[in-house]
Structure 1
Amino acid sequence: ESVGDRGHVSKMGDLRDELRRILQGFLHGFLYGAKIRFPHALLMVSLFRNDLPWTGKMDKVLSLTFNHARNLGLFVFTYKSLVASLRKTTNLQEGITTALAGGIGGSLVFGDDTSINTQINLYVFSRVAKALGHLLLERQWIPKFKGWYRLWAGLSWALVMVLFSKKRHTLQNSLTSSMIYLYEDSDIPGSMFLNL
Protein backbone atom coordinates (compact mmCIF):
# COMPACT_ATOMS: atom_id res chain seq x y z
CA GLU A 1 0.00 0.00 0.00
CA SER A 2 1.55 3.28 -1.07
CA VAL A 3 1.49 6.56 0.84
CA GLY A 4 -0.99 7.91 -1.73
CA ASP A 5 -3.30 4.93 -1.11
CA ARG A 6 -3.19 5.54 2.65
CA GLY A 7 -4.16 9.19 2.07
CA HIS A 8 -7.05 8.07 -0.12
CA VAL A 9 -8.21 5.56 2.51
CA SER A 10 -7.94 8.24 5.18
CA LYS A 11 -10.02 10.67 3.10
CA MET A 12 -12.63 7.96 2.46
CA GLY A 13 -12.74 7.26 6.21
CA ASP A 14 -13.19 10.98 6.89
CA LEU A 15 -15.97 11.13 4.30
CA ARG A 16 -17.71 8.08 5.79
CA ASP A 17 -17.43 9.64 9.26
CA GLU A 18 -18.88 12.92 8.00
CA LEU A 19 -21.76 11.14 6.24
CA ARG A 20 -22.46 9.09 9.37
CA ARG A 21 -22.60 12.26 11.48
CA ILE A 22 -24.92 13.95 8.98
CA LEU A 23 -27.29 10.97 8.70
CA GLN A 24 -27.24 10.40 12.44
CA GLY A 25 -28.03 14.10 12.87
CA PHE A 26 -31.09 13.68 10.63
CA LEU A 27 -32.22 10.71 12.71
CA HIS A 28 -31.70 12.58 15.99
CA GLY A 29 -33.65 15.56 14.62
CA PHE A 30 -36.48 13.34 13.41
CA LEU A 31 -36.75 11.41 16.67
CA TYR A 32 -36.52 14.53 18.83
CA GLY A 33 -39.15 16.31 16.72
CA ALA A 34 -41.51 13.34 17.08
CA LYS A 35 -40.84 13.09 20.82
CA ILE A 36 -41.74 16.71 21.52
CA ARG A 37 -44.54 17.16 18.96
CA PHE A 38 -46.57 13.97 19.57
CA PRO A 39 -47.70 14.71 23.16
CA HIS A 40 -48.28 18.39 22.33
CA ALA A 41 -50.32 17.57 19.22
CA LEU A 42 -52.28 14.88 21.07
CA LEU A 43 -53.24 17.31 23.82
CA MET A 44 -54.03 20.28 21.56
CA VAL A 45 -56.04 18.27 19.03
CA SER A 46 -57.94 16.50 21.82
CA LEU A 47 -58.80 19.80 23.50
CA PHE A 48 -59.48 22.08 20.56
CA ARG A 49 -60.48 20.01 17.52
CA ASN A 50 -63.94 18.87 18.57
CA ASP A 51 -65.00 19.24 14.93
CA LEU A 52 -63.02 16.11 14.02
CA PRO A 53 -64.04 12.48 14.58
CA TRP A 54 -61.65 10.31 16.60
CA THR A 55 -59.95 8.96 13.46
CA GLY A 56 -59.60 12.49 12.10
CA LYS A 57 -58.01 13.58 15.36
CA MET A 58 -55.45 10.76 15.18
CA ASP A 59 -54.69 11.58 11.53
CA LYS A 60 -54.11 15.22 12.53
CA VAL A 61 -51.85 14.25 15.46
CA LEU A 62 -49.78 11.92 13.27
CA SER A 63 -49.56 14.49 10.47
CA LEU A 64 -48.40 17.27 12.82
CA THR A 65 -45.92 14.91 14.47
CA PHE A 66 -44.49 13.72 11.15
CA ASN A 67 -44.17 17.26 9.76
CA HIS A 68 -42.37 18.52 12.86
CA ALA A 69 -40.07 15.49 12.99
CA ARG A 70 -39.30 15.63 9.25
CA ASN A 71 -38.55 19.36 9.30
CA LEU A 72 -36.28 19.15 12.34
CA GLY A 73 -34.47 16.15 10.84
CA LEU A 74 -34.09 17.93 7.48
CA PHE A 75 -32.76 21.04 9.17
CA VAL A 76 -30.09 19.08 11.07
CA PHE A 77 -29.20 17.23 7.84
CA THR A 78 -28.99 20.48 5.84
CA TYR A 79 -27.09 22.37 8.53
CA LYS A 80 -24.50 19.64 9.08
CA SER A 81 -24.07 19.12 5.32
CA LEU A 82 -23.51 22.83 4.73
CA VAL A 83 -21.09 23.18 7.66
CA ALA A 84 -19.07 20.20 6.41
CA SER A 85 -19.02 21.57 2.84
CA LEU A 86 -18.07 25.09 3.91
CA ARG A 87 -15.28 23.81 6.16
CA LYS A 88 -13.82 21.76 3.32
CA THR A 89 -14.15 24.41 0.60
CA THR A 90 -13.59 27.76 2.36
CA ASN A 91 -11.48 29.39 5.03
CA LEU A 92 -14.40 31.16 6.66
CA GLN A 93 -14.40 31.78 10.39
CA GLU A 94 -16.47 29.31 12.42
CA GLY A 95 -19.11 31.92 13.32
CA ILE A 96 -19.63 32.84 9.66
CA THR A 97 -19.78 29.17 8.66
CA THR A 98 -22.41 28.35 11.28
CA ALA A 99 -24.40 31.53 10.52
CA LEU A 100 -24.47 30.77 6.77
CA ALA A 101 -25.41 27.13 7.31
CA GLY A 102 -28.07 28.06 9.87
CA GLY A 103 -29.52 30.84 7.74
CA ILE A 104 -29.63 28.81 4.53
CA GLY A 105 -30.93 25.71 6.32
CA GLY A 106 -33.52 27.70 8.25
CA SER A 107 -34.85 29.48 5.17
CA LEU A 108 -34.98 26.26 3.13
CA VAL A 109 -36.56 24.03 5.78
CA PHE A 110 -38.56 26.44 7.95
CA GLY A 111 -39.25 29.13 5.32
CA ASP A 112 -42.78 28.04 4.38
CA ASP A 113 -45.48 29.77 6.43
CA THR A 114 -47.10 26.72 8.06
CA SER A 115 -48.42 26.30 11.60
CA ILE A 116 -45.59 23.91 12.52
CA ASN A 117 -42.88 26.19 11.11
CA THR A 118 -44.43 29.22 12.80
CA GLN A 119 -44.34 27.49 16.19
CA ILE A 120 -40.76 26.32 15.71
CA ASN A 121 -39.59 29.72 14.42
CA LEU A 122 -41.31 31.57 17.28
CA TYR A 123 -39.77 29.16 19.79
CA VAL A 124 -36.29 29.71 18.36
CA PHE A 125 -36.78 33.49 18.00
CA SER A 126 -37.88 33.90 21.62
CA ARG A 127 -34.88 31.92 22.88
CA VAL A 128 -32.52 33.92 20.68
CA ALA A 129 -34.00 37.24 21.88
CA LYS A 130 -33.50 36.18 25.51
CA ALA A 131 -29.94 35.02 24.79
CA LEU A 132 -29.15 38.34 23.08
CA GLY A 133 -30.38 40.15 26.18
CA HIS A 134 -27.99 38.06 28.29
CA LEU A 135 -25.18 38.78 25.83
CA LEU A 136 -25.82 42.54 26.03
CA LEU A 137 -25.61 42.34 29.82
CA GLU A 138 -22.55 40.07 29.73
CA ARG A 139 -20.67 42.48 27.45
CA GLN A 140 -21.89 45.40 29.54
CA TRP A 141 -23.51 47.09 26.53
CA ILE A 142 -26.53 47.73 28.72
CA PRO A 143 -26.41 48.45 32.44
CA LYS A 144 -27.09 45.67 34.93
CA PHE A 145 -30.06 46.05 37.21
CA LYS A 146 -32.36 43.50 38.80
CA GLY A 147 -35.49 44.72 37.06
CA TRP A 148 -34.71 43.72 33.44
CA TYR A 149 -36.80 40.56 33.57
CA ARG A 150 -39.77 42.37 35.09
CA LEU A 151 -39.41 45.16 32.50
CA TRP A 152 -39.30 42.61 29.67
CA ALA A 153 -42.39 40.81 31.03
CA GLY A 154 -44.30 44.07 31.41
CA LEU A 155 -43.37 45.26 27.93
CA SER A 156 -44.34 41.91 26.37
CA TRP A 157 -47.75 41.94 28.06
CA ALA A 158 -48.34 45.62 27.33
CA LEU A 159 -47.68 45.03 23.63
CA VAL A 160 -49.83 41.90 23.37
CA MET A 161 -52.76 43.60 25.12
CA VAL A 162 -52.55 46.65 22.82
CA LEU A 163 -52.34 44.42 19.75
CA PHE A 164 -55.27 42.33 21.00
CA SER A 165 -57.44 45.39 21.62
CA LYS A 166 -56.45 47.37 18.51
CA LYS A 167 -54.97 45.04 15.85
CA ARG A 168 -55.89 41.49 16.82
CA HIS A 169 -55.78 40.35 13.19
CA THR A 170 -51.98 40.63 13.45
CA LEU A 171 -51.78 38.05 16.25
CA GLN A 172 -51.63 34.30 15.71
CA ASN A 173 -55.12 32.72 15.63
CA SER A 174 -54.49 30.43 18.60
CA LEU A 175 -53.34 33.36 20.74
CA THR A 176 -56.34 35.46 19.69
CA SER A 177 -58.73 32.60 20.51
CA SER A 178 -57.18 32.17 23.95
CA MET A 179 -57.38 35.90 24.63
CA ILE A 180 -61.02 36.08 23.51
CA TYR A 181 -61.84 33.33 26.01
CA LEU A 182 -59.88 35.03 28.80
CA TYR A 183 -60.85 38.66 28.31
CA GLU A 184 -64.15 38.74 26.41
CA ASP A 185 -66.00 35.48 27.04
CA SER A 186 -65.35 36.01 30.76
CA ASP A 187 -67.64 39.09 30.59
CA ILE A 188 -70.62 36.86 29.70
CA PRO A 189 -72.53 35.58 32.77
CA GLY A 190 -72.31 31.78 33.12
CA SER A 191 -69.67 31.47 30.41
CA MET A 192 -67.00 29.64 32.42
CA PHE A 193 -67.09 26.54 30.18
CA LEU A 194 -67.93 28.37 26.96
CA ASN A 195 -65.55 27.41 24.14
CA LEU A 196 -63.42 25.12 26.30
Structure 2
Amino acid sequence: MDALESFVASPAAHDLLAIVKGARNGLVYGVKIRFPHALVMALLFHKGDWKAKATFVLKATKSHALNLMKFVTAYKTLMLLQRKVNGGKERSLDTFVAGALGGYMTFGERTAVNEQIVLYVASRVLASFLPRASPVPPRPSVASGQPAGPIRPVPPAAVPFSLFASVAWGMVMWVFRNRGETLQGGLVNSMSYLYVDSDHWKNLKTLLWHNK
Protein backbone atom coordinates (compact mmCIF):
# COMPACT_ATOMS: atom_id res chain seq x y z
CA MET A 1 0.00 0.00 0.00
CA ASP A 2 2.86 2.39 0.80
CA ALA A 3 4.37 1.72 -2.63
CA LEU A 4 0.99 2.42 -4.28
CA GLU A 5 0.55 5.67 -2.36
CA SER A 6 4.05 6.67 -3.38
CA PHE A 7 3.24 5.99 -7.04
CA VAL A 8 0.02 8.03 -6.81
CA ALA A 9 1.95 10.99 -5.35
CA SER A 10 4.77 10.76 -7.92
CA PRO A 11 4.96 13.73 -10.35
CA ALA A 12 6.12 11.31 -13.05
CA ALA A 13 2.76 9.53 -12.91
CA HIS A 14 0.64 12.69 -12.82
CA ASP A 15 -0.34 12.89 -16.49
CA LEU A 16 -1.42 9.25 -16.63
CA LEU A 17 -3.30 9.37 -13.33
CA ALA A 18 -5.03 12.62 -14.35
CA ILE A 19 -6.63 10.65 -17.18
CA VAL A 20 -7.67 7.93 -14.73
CA LYS A 21 -9.24 10.44 -12.36
CA GLY A 22 -10.88 12.25 -15.28
CA ALA A 23 -12.52 8.97 -16.32
CA ARG A 24 -13.64 8.43 -12.72
CA ASN A 25 -15.12 11.93 -12.45
CA GLY A 26 -16.87 11.57 -15.80
CA LEU A 27 -18.49 8.31 -14.73
CA VAL A 28 -19.57 9.66 -11.32
CA TYR A 29 -20.90 12.94 -12.74
CA GLY A 30 -22.81 11.16 -15.52
CA VAL A 31 -24.59 8.98 -12.97
CA LYS A 32 -25.37 11.95 -10.70
CA ILE A 33 -26.81 13.99 -13.55
CA ARG A 34 -28.71 11.36 -15.54
CA PHE A 35 -30.14 9.04 -12.86
CA PRO A 36 -32.48 11.56 -11.15
CA HIS A 37 -33.50 13.06 -14.50
CA ALA A 38 -34.28 9.65 -16.02
CA LEU A 39 -36.12 8.59 -12.86
CA VAL A 40 -38.42 11.62 -12.97
CA MET A 41 -39.03 11.18 -16.71
CA ALA A 42 -39.85 7.50 -16.20
CA LEU A 43 -42.28 8.18 -13.37
CA LEU A 44 -44.05 11.01 -15.19
CA PHE A 45 -44.07 9.95 -18.84
CA HIS A 46 -42.74 6.45 -19.41
CA LYS A 47 -45.38 3.80 -20.12
CA GLY A 48 -45.10 0.23 -18.88
CA ASP A 49 -44.65 -1.61 -15.62
CA TRP A 50 -42.03 -0.92 -12.95
CA LYS A 51 -39.56 -3.27 -14.60
CA ALA A 52 -39.78 -1.37 -17.89
CA LYS A 53 -39.37 1.96 -16.07
CA ALA A 54 -36.34 0.66 -14.15
CA THR A 55 -34.78 -0.62 -17.40
CA PHE A 56 -35.29 2.79 -19.02
CA VAL A 57 -33.64 4.59 -16.08
CA LEU A 58 -30.67 2.24 -15.92
CA LYS A 59 -30.13 2.28 -19.68
CA ALA A 60 -30.19 6.09 -19.90
CA THR A 61 -27.91 6.44 -16.86
CA LYS A 62 -25.43 3.90 -18.24
CA SER A 63 -25.33 5.60 -21.65
CA HIS A 64 -24.76 9.08 -20.22
CA ALA A 65 -22.18 8.02 -17.63
CA LEU A 66 -20.11 5.81 -19.94
CA ASN A 67 -20.07 8.32 -22.79
CA LEU A 68 -19.05 11.14 -20.48
CA MET A 69 -16.31 8.94 -19.03
CA LYS A 70 -15.11 8.12 -22.55
CA PHE A 71 -15.18 11.77 -23.61
CA VAL A 72 -13.16 13.00 -20.61
CA THR A 73 -10.66 10.19 -21.18
CA ALA A 74 -10.33 10.97 -24.89
CA TYR A 75 -10.12 14.73 -24.33
CA LYS A 76 -7.44 14.60 -21.65
CA THR A 77 -5.51 11.98 -23.61
CA LEU A 78 -5.57 14.03 -26.81
CA MET A 79 -4.52 17.16 -24.91
CA LEU A 80 -1.53 15.32 -23.47
CA LEU A 81 -0.56 13.91 -26.86
CA GLN A 82 -0.67 17.36 -28.47
CA ARG A 83 1.48 18.81 -25.70
CA LYS A 84 4.02 16.01 -26.15
CA VAL A 85 4.15 16.64 -29.89
CA ASN A 86 4.65 20.39 -29.31
CA GLY A 87 7.47 20.11 -26.81
CA GLY A 88 5.32 20.36 -23.69
CA LYS A 89 3.57 23.55 -24.81
CA GLU A 90 -0.19 23.92 -25.15
CA ARG A 91 -1.60 25.89 -28.08
CA SER A 92 -4.94 27.69 -28.06
CA LEU A 93 -6.35 25.44 -30.79
CA ASP A 94 -5.47 22.21 -28.94
CA THR A 95 -8.62 22.33 -26.83
CA PHE A 96 -10.82 22.63 -29.92
CA VAL A 97 -9.07 19.72 -31.65
CA ALA A 98 -9.28 17.48 -28.57
CA GLY A 99 -12.89 18.44 -27.90
CA ALA A 100 -13.94 17.97 -31.54
CA LEU A 101 -12.32 14.55 -31.91
CA GLY A 102 -13.55 13.43 -28.50
CA GLY A 103 -17.07 14.63 -29.28
CA TYR A 104 -17.06 12.85 -32.64
CA MET A 105 -15.87 9.55 -31.14
CA THR A 106 -18.16 9.48 -28.11
CA PHE A 107 -21.26 11.56 -28.92
CA GLY A 108 -21.35 11.26 -32.72
CA GLU A 109 -24.00 8.54 -32.75
CA ARG A 110 -27.49 10.08 -32.79
CA THR A 111 -29.17 8.49 -29.80
CA ALA A 112 -31.75 10.22 -27.60
CA VAL A 113 -29.26 10.75 -24.77
CA ASN A 114 -26.44 11.92 -27.06
CA GLU A 115 -28.72 14.35 -28.91
CA GLN A 116 -29.87 15.90 -25.65
CA ILE A 117 -26.29 16.33 -24.43
CA VAL A 118 -25.01 17.77 -27.71
CA LEU A 119 -27.91 20.25 -27.96
CA TYR A 120 -27.24 21.32 -24.37
CA VAL A 121 -23.55 21.89 -25.13
CA ALA A 122 -24.32 23.75 -28.38
CA SER A 123 -26.82 26.04 -26.66
CA ARG A 124 -24.28 26.92 -23.97
CA VAL A 125 -21.68 27.79 -26.61
CA LEU A 126 -24.13 30.09 -28.39
CA ALA A 127 -25.18 31.68 -25.10
CA SER A 128 -21.53 32.35 -24.22
CA PHE A 129 -21.46 35.05 -26.93
CA LEU A 130 -24.22 37.02 -25.20
CA PRO A 131 -23.02 39.70 -22.76
CA ARG A 132 -23.50 38.96 -19.06
CA ALA A 133 -24.39 41.52 -16.40
CA SER A 134 -22.10 39.83 -13.88
CA PRO A 135 -19.32 37.57 -15.16
CA VAL A 136 -18.80 34.08 -13.77
CA PRO A 137 -15.86 33.97 -11.31
CA PRO A 138 -12.61 32.98 -13.06
CA ARG A 139 -12.05 29.26 -13.19
CA PRO A 140 -8.80 27.52 -12.25
CA SER A 141 -6.30 26.56 -14.94
CA VAL A 142 -6.90 23.23 -16.65
CA ALA A 143 -4.32 20.50 -17.29
CA SER A 144 -4.74 17.67 -19.78
CA GLY A 145 -4.52 14.05 -20.95
CA GLN A 146 -3.65 11.32 -23.91
CA PRO A 147 -5.54 9.94 -27.08
CA ALA A 148 -8.35 7.45 -27.44
CA GLY A 149 -8.78 4.71 -30.00
CA PRO A 150 -9.47 5.10 -33.72
CA ILE A 151 -12.61 6.83 -34.94
CA ARG A 152 -15.10 4.16 -36.00
CA PRO A 153 -16.90 4.52 -39.37
CA VAL A 154 -20.20 6.39 -39.28
CA PRO A 155 -23.07 5.58 -41.68
CA PRO A 156 -23.65 8.40 -44.22
CA ALA A 157 -27.04 9.29 -42.71
CA ALA A 158 -25.39 9.89 -39.34
CA VAL A 159 -22.60 12.13 -40.65
CA PRO A 160 -24.39 15.51 -40.26
CA PHE A 161 -25.17 14.88 -36.60
CA SER A 162 -21.68 13.49 -35.96
CA LEU A 163 -20.10 16.63 -37.41
CA PHE A 164 -22.49 18.81 -35.41
CA ALA A 165 -21.55 16.96 -32.22
CA SER A 166 -17.87 17.29 -33.07
CA VAL A 167 -18.03 21.06 -33.65
CA ALA A 168 -20.21 21.61 -30.55
CA TRP A 169 -17.79 19.76 -28.27
CA GLY A 170 -14.74 21.36 -29.88
CA MET A 171 -16.22 24.81 -29.35
CA VAL A 172 -17.35 24.27 -25.77
CA MET A 173 -13.92 22.96 -24.76
CA TRP A 174 -12.20 25.91 -26.43
CA VAL A 175 -14.56 28.43 -24.84
CA PHE A 176 -14.14 26.79 -21.42
CA ARG A 177 -10.35 27.03 -21.64
CA ASN A 178 -10.07 30.47 -23.23
CA ARG A 179 -13.29 32.35 -22.38
CA GLY A 180 -14.66 30.42 -19.42
CA GLU A 181 -16.15 33.52 -17.81
CA THR A 182 -18.65 33.78 -20.69
CA LEU A 183 -20.18 30.34 -20.07
CA GLN A 184 -23.19 29.70 -17.86
CA GLY A 185 -22.12 29.19 -14.25
CA GLY A 186 -23.59 25.72 -13.84
CA LEU A 187 -21.74 24.46 -16.91
CA VAL A 188 -18.48 25.98 -15.66
CA ASN A 189 -18.89 24.18 -12.33
CA SER A 190 -19.60 20.89 -14.11
CA MET A 191 -16.63 21.23 -16.45
CA SER A 192 -14.33 22.28 -13.61
CA TYR A 193 -15.28 19.07 -11.80
CA LEU A 194 -14.50 17.02 -14.91
CA TYR A 195 -11.40 18.72 -16.31
CA VAL A 196 -9.85 20.75 -13.47
CA ASP A 197 -10.52 18.76 -10.31
CA SER A 198 -9.33 15.59 -12.06
CA ASP A 199 -5.81 17.06 -12.20
CA HIS A 200 -5.53 17.22 -8.42
CA TRP A 201 -5.42 14.56 -5.70
CA LYS A 202 -3.48 13.95 -2.49
CA ASN A 203 -3.60 10.18 -2.15
CA LEU A 204 -5.27 7.04 -3.47
CA LYS A 205 -8.54 7.92 -1.71
CA THR A 206 -8.86 11.32 -3.41
CA LEU A 207 -7.78 9.79 -6.73
CA LEU A 208 -10.44 7.08 -6.93
CA TRP A 209 -13.02 7.44 -4.16
CA HIS A 210 -13.50 11.09 -3.21
CA ASN A 211 -13.05 14.01 -5.60
CA LYS A 212 -11.39 16.10 -2.87
Query: TM-score, with normalisation over the residues of structure 1?
Result: 0.59
Structure with larger Rg: 1
Q: Does 1:113 align with 2:119?
A: no
Report % sequence identity.
41
- Equivalent position to 2:73, from 66, 77, 84: 77
Could you report, residue by residue, the CA deviation over 1:122-141 in whole angstroms, capped at 9, with x for unpaired residues? 11111100002339xx9xxx
Deviation of 1:94 after TM superposition, in Å, equals 2.6
1:80-91 → structure 2 map (5 Å cutoff)? 80-90=76-86
1:7-86 → structure 2 map (5 Å cutoff)? 13-50=10-47, 52-86=48-82
Letter in 1 for 2:63: N
1:146-165 → structure 2 map (5 Å cutoff)? none
Does the CA contact (< 8 Å) of 2:83 and 2:90 recur in 1?
A: no
CA distance in 2, matches of 1:134, 1:72: 29
Does the CA contact (< 8 Å) of 2:20 and 2:73 recur in 1?
A: yes
Q: Does 1:123 align with 2:133?
A: no
Q: 1:98 to 1:89 in 2, by over 3 A?
A: same
Runs of 4+ aligned structure 1 residues displaced above 6 Å come to: none
Q: 1:80 to 1:93 in 2, by over 3 A?
A: closer
Deviation of 1:90 after TM superposition, in Å, equals 2.2
Deviation of 1:61 after TM superposition, in Å, equals 0.2
Deviation of 1:14 after TM superposition, in Å, equals 4.8
Aligned to 1:183: none
Aligned to 2:93: 96
Query: TM-score, with normalisation over the residues of structure 2?
Result: 0.55
The structure with the greater share of residues assigned to helix is 1
Letter in 2 for 1:104: L
Letter in 2 for 1:107: Y
Could you report, residue by residue, the CA deviation over 1:152-179 in whole angstroms, capped at 9, with x for unpaired residues? xxxxxxxxxxxxxxxxxxxxxxxxxxxx
CA distance in 2, matches of 1:70, 1:55: 22
CA distance in 1, matches of 2:12, 2:118: 32
Deviation of 1:43 after TM superposition, in Å, equals 0.5
CA distance in 1, matches of 2:118, 2:63: 14
Identify unmatched segments of 5+ residues in structure 2.
1-9, 136-212
Please state whether the residue corresponding to 2:110 is helix, strand or coil: coil
Q: RMSD of the alignment, in Å? A: 1.8
Please state whether the residue corresponding to 1:94 is helix, strand or coil: coil
Could you report, residue by residue, the CA deviation over 1:34-69 in whole angstroms, capped at 9, with x for unpaired residues? 00100000000111112x210111011011001100
